């Protein structure tokens, strides 16, 4: 509530208007009537004391976040692709990595490639020839002690880093709450995991089920910690 010193009109500040003659403030009195007053120096009173009104400054925008949780820099061009690479074992893994970390990877110039099966790792490394400034990070499903995946990823050299998650399928690395279930079904060994999961959850075919899983992931908060940590280790490794 302010008072116009010249006229004695009292009212609440309800808006501002910029005209060719300068800035004006709009006041509304107790009867709902509104008037415009020029915002001149010491032109108003609050509790009898002269004041100068100024237009409020726009609130600073909160920094935007990418899906991975990092600060999103607007207008920044993606850097030229690095020689280093991140290889992802499964096609669904690659899609989730791109969905959550895509902005960061483009900014850093990191290329993500589908490995098309861990059995191809040795041949791909021999062809790629990792070295200083030419590193390879590998993301693997079901990387647990004693698994075939663990035995295939040992002794690959200082320019190769393998990380992974403990889940049979990367779908399980999506939090159940994100896809609208209380928990992922327990599937007996030897059965096709995606097919049985989709049957038990009523998701139709594995293709339809994957679409539901993929579209449910909007940020890193929808993923389990082991997958988040594994990917971020690889990004740090190939960009160091």
Tokens of 95: 């899609």
Instruction: Please name every residue paired with 139 in a beta bridge, in sequence order, or none if there are none.
Output: 88, 163
If you average pLDDT over residues 64-75, what whole number do you get?
A: 73
If you average pLDDT over residues 5-17, what whole number do you get?
A: 88
* DSSP classification of residue 7: T
d(CA 37, CA 23): 9
Burial 215-229 (b: 16+ CB within 10 A, else e): eebeebebbbebbbe
In this predicted model, what pLDDT tens digit does every residue of 78-97 receive, in sequence order? 667 889 999 998 889 999 99
Tokens of 181: 């279930």
Sorted by where each starts, the structural domains of the chain and their CATH numbers stand as 2-51 (no CATH), 68-167+221-240 (3.40.50), 175-216 (no CATH)
d(CA 215, CA 9): 57
d(CA 201, CA 184): 9
pLDDT on residue 74: 60
211 Cβ contact partners less than 8 Å away, ≥ 6 residues apart: none
Q: Average pLDDT of the chain?
A: 87
Is residue 72 within 8 A of residue 103, CB to CB? The reply is yes
Pick from 76, 72, 9: which is nearest to 36 by CA? 9
Share of the chain above pLDDT 90, in %: 51
On the question of pLDDT at 118 being above 90, the answer is no
Phi, psi of 129 (to 5 degrees): 60, 70
What do you get for the CA distance between the two ends of the chain, in Å?
Answer: 58
On the question of pLDDT at 17 being above 90, the answer is no
Report the side by side order of strands in the sheet with 111-114.
Answer: 111-114, 85-88, 136-140, 160-164
């Amino acid at each position: 509530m302010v008072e116009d010193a010249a006229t004695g009109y009292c009212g609440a500040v309800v808006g501002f208007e910029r005209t060719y003659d300068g800035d004006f403030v709009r006041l509304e009195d107790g009867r709902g009537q509104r008037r415009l007053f020029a915002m001149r120096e010491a032109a108003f009173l609050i509790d009898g004391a002269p004041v100068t009104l100024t237009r409020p400054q726009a609130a600073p925008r909160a920094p935007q976040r990418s899906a991975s949780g990092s600060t999103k820099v607007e207008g920044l061009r993606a850097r030229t692709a690095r020689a280093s690479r991140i290889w992802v074992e499964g096609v669904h893994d690659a899609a989730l990595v791109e969905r959550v970390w895509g902005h960061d990877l483009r900014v850093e110039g990191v290329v993500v490639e589908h490995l098309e099966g861990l059995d191809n790792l040795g041949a791909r490394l021999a062809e790629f020839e990792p070295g200083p400034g030419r590193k390879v990070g590998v993301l693997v499903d079901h990387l647990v002690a004693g698994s075939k995946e663990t035995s295939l990823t040992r002794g690959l050299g200082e320019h190769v880093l393998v990380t992974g998650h403990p889940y049979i399928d990367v779908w399980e690395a999506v939090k159940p709450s994100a896809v609208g279930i209380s928990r992922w079904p327990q599937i007996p060994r030897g059965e096709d995991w995606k097919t049985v999961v989709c049957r038990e959850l009523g998701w139709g075919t594995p293709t339809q089920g994957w679409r539901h899983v993929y579209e449910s992931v909007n940020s890193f908060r929808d993923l389990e910690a082991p997958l988040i940590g594994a990917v971020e280790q690889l990004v740090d490794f190939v960009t160091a």
